[in-house]
Amino acid sequence: MFELLKTDAHTKARLGRLTTAHGVIDTPTFMPVGTQGTVKALDPRELREMGTQIILGNTYHLNLRPGLDIIRAAGGLHQFINWPAPILTDSGGFQVFSLAKIRKIKPHGVEFRSHLDGSLLFLGPKEAMEIQRALGSDIAMVFDDCPPHTSTPREVRAAVERTIHWARECREQPRAPGQLVFGIVQGGSDAALREECAKAIVPMQFDGYAIGGVSVGEPESEMMKAVELAEPFLPADQPRYAMGLGTPAQLVEMVARGVDMFDCVLPTRVARNGTAFTRKGTVIIKAGFNKADFRPMEENCDCFACRHFTRAYLRHLLNVNEILGIRMLSVHNSHLFLKVMADVRTALAAGNFPEFRREFVANYVPSRKVLSTRKKETER
Ligand SMILES: [Zn+2]
């Protein structure tokens, strides 16, 4: 199922291949986020053309709208959204804790009010696995408790205990045919809790392991620390997934720390704000300085948007609220994240990942504005 093809001699970076019911995923991989059953502003053909091998879907949102009866009647999520390749579904735990206004934590899940109409709902390990079984995702995530960055040590401990307990319950639930299930390690930036959580979750023998609680408003140093604390306790022969991250340079840094899979709403979210990612950092395409700039968003980028349109034209589209502007920025940004991961894989195969990493991170100038956008993420 997961083949570890190569481990970098100087870092913890790994080259791998994950086989799922709907296809093979080359790792390290970036997974575009399709929260509501679509990667915002992009269609499946565009996603395939830019090299997408797997997308995300979301249990919480898809269960509320359109609802499971519709997706079941369509023949599952792949059929419903016409995406024949692999899908990973988030369990909904993150949304229950970040979106639902009123919630009551119970032994077997969370009672909460829908963020849409206030109706009373319940989501726990059993429900989350049942929904993911009906969606028919290739990779299902366990239902976990993901506490915010501002939680007290006591709250983080309680979340770890709940996460362990709920992982065990998830493990016992039936799955869709061929469905893989990933466990999640919580524990914030507390070394002992990360270790304790990993040591409880790994013996449950999931198909892969996620490092959770790493996109909850913490500074970058703590995000890296959380990954470094959990990684040594994860089995080398199974895939590791850092949930909800990050900028292109952060992804490269996390690959160096032994992570294989990433998802992030940043490429499409900042596109909607009129901002493009490049290998040197972000560029505000909407800004006045692009008014008469007839270069592409990024020189040498072979995405559809950069091959066909100039910054000046895209700026104009964004300025007059034409949908094509947002679509083309979404195409470019998503393409860039996927291309960076493809370049990482090439560097790993060629044995020059440390040089690639050094150069990439040195060239990439992070933007404070984009980093603060990440903090508001709730829709993973
Ligand atoms: Zn481009």
Q: What is the structure's pLDDT at 380? A: 42
Q: What is the structure's pLDDT at 243? A: 96
Given the structure tokens 């390990």, which residue do they identify? 125
- Write out the catalytic residue numbers: 90, 263
What is the CA(314)–ligand 1 centre distance, in A? 12
Q: Are strands 139-141 and 87-90 parallel, antiparallel or unpaired?
A: parallel
Average pLDDT for consecutive 10-residue bins of the chain (380 residues)?
Answer: 98 98 98 97 98 97 97 98 98 86 90 91 97 98 92 95 98 98 96 97 98 88 95 98 96 98 97 97 97 98 98 98 98 98 98 98 85 48
- The Cα–Cα gap between 335 and 30 comes to 10
Structure tokens at 58: 């979301």
What is the CA(276)–ligand 1 centre distance, in A? 9
What is the CA(336)–ligand 1 centre distance, in A? 7
Model pTM? Answer: 0.96
Q: What is the structure's pLDDT at 248? A: 97
* Separation of first and last alpha carbons in the chain: 25
What is the CA(318)–ligand 1 centre distance, in A? 16
Q: What is the structure's pLDDT at 37? A: 97
- The Cα–Cα gap between 271 and 33 comes to 14
